[in-house]
Copies of this chain bind each other. A is one copy, B any other.
């Protein structure tokens, strides 16, 4: 039986495809971006010989040399502030904040400069830079290692904020973030670093400013991003057993918000819940709920729920299981609605 070209291509792809963790995919994205464009430089705390505390920059310094990849002094405002200067000169710095909470010393540089430079200069000065932030919890981290900082960045006009939930998106979105002429806060869910997928590089998924329906359903829409996409999918599978058809949307981009995709899903199902690890009060889910309600009020059968962390500081390792929004908690929330299942 003769094989078609398509079949042969698929075979080649399968051969090229390799199992890869999200950390590995991010590493590959950095490598490929650096190969493609010598304006891309990588620096931050411990990103050189160590390869970063999560090994996302592993091997980059030995490959590209220490003029492309280097350990900076230990000062986050310094890292972001110098990256602003480097981007002004036409470089494309990709810098790492070691954990969410350690981006806070750089808050002023990010909010008052990174976010505002383009507007300030009427577009004459763009800042093509990427701020990588290993984010959120569920890794048994001690205090300050499991914050979720996305609400701060998303509330800041001028920033683009994205968070991949899987290795393919991680690769594709990081490449796109580096190529973007806008500064991007690129959030990497730590608890997903070791999640695996089979990838054929260079994989390109949907544009990074689009949300994606990752599971179709008709009764309710679960909206997650980063670590909670897995939570939503697990809850959806479990709910199916109980006869509930759950659609899951992976936001991918927190700012901008893909109103089109998410509203379409919510109009279809008429019920939705947004899931995140961060505290509920003032969290990103508030924006999701508010804007979806504004735009789809008369299509909604119930208020949009927020299934989130509590309004407390992130707990110590032994207590985090009680804090995190689990699939069980999602199921409980869904059960609180009255369903008239066939």
Contacts and interface: CB of A to CB of B under 8 A. Distances in A.
State how many copies of this chain the complex holds.
2
Given A290-B285, A294-B306, A312-B119, A151 B144 contact: no
Given A112-B144, A312-B119, A289 B279 contact: no
Contacts of A255: 281-282
Interface string A301-327: 011111000111100000000000000
A233 B115 CA distance: 33
A279 B291 CA distance: 13
A155 B104 CA distance: 14
B282 A155 contact: yes
A19 interface: no
A111 interface: yes
A193 B115 CA distance: 29
Contact of A282 (B144, B154, B311): B154
A287 B281 contact: yes
A120 interface: yes
A318 B91 CA distance: 34
Nearest to A119: B313
Interface in A261-319: 278-279, 281-287, 289-291, 293-295, 297, 300, 302-306, 310-313
B287 A293 contact: no
A254 to B, nearest CB: 9
A101 interface: yes
Interface string A133-162: 000000000011000000110111110000
Contacts of A312: 119, 157-158
B120 A313 contact: yes
A64 interface: no
Interface string A151-188: 11011111000000000000000000000000000000
A288 to B, nearest CB: 8
A154 B286 CA distance: 12
A257 interface: yes
B115 A313 contact: yes
Contact of A306 (B105, B281, B290): B290
18 contacts: A101-B108, A105-B108, A112-B144, A119-B312, A151-B151, A152-B152, A154-B281, A155-B279, A155-B283, A157-B313, A257-B281, A282-B286, A286-B286, A287-B290, A289-B293, A289-B294, A290-B304, A297-B300
A-B CB proximity, top 4 nearest: A155-B282, A107-B107, A104-B108, A297-B303
